Amino acid sequence: MSAEYLFYWSMAATGLGLVLIGLWGVLTRKHILRIALAFTLADTGVNLILVWSGFLPNRAAPIIDSSVTTVVDPLPQALVLTSIVIGVAVAALFVVVGVLASRKSGSADIRHMKELRW
C-alpha cells in the first residue's frame, strides 16, 4: 500500500469522523456555544470531504503549460473556499445570537431558553 493511497483514505476517514463528531455534539450538547463549536466542527469535516472528492492522484495543478497533460478539477477547491467564508459568517452569527439569547434568558443552557420556542 503506497503512502499516497493511505493519505487519500485517511483524509476521507478524518473528514467523516469530524462530521460525525460534530453531529453528535449538535444533538447531545445543551450549552449554546458548545453547539456552535460542534456545528463548526461538522462544517470543517464537510470541507475536508469536498477537498478529498476533488483529489485525483497523478494530476497536476490547473496551470496550463506545454508539459501538463492532465489537471485536477479546480471546482471543489473553489467550493471549499466559498464554504469556508460562509461557515465563518454562520459561526459568528451563531455565537452572537447565542450570547444574546443567554444574556436574555440568564443561562447558556438551551433548556432554559423558553422564549426562543415557538
Confidence label for 117 from pLDDT (cuts 50, 70 and 90): low
**Cell triple for residue 81?**
473556499
In the predicted structure, residue 86 carries a pLDDT above the cut 90: yes
Model confidence pLDDT, tens digit, residues 4-26: 788 888 989 999 999 999 999 99
Q: How far apart are CA 33 and CA 94, in angstroms?
A: 8
* CATH code of the domain containing 76: 1.10.287.3510
Whole-model pTM over 0.75: yes
- Indicate the number of domains in the chain: 1
Q: How far apart are CA 88 and CA 106, in angstroms?
A: 26
Q: Which domain holds residue 24?
A: 3-116
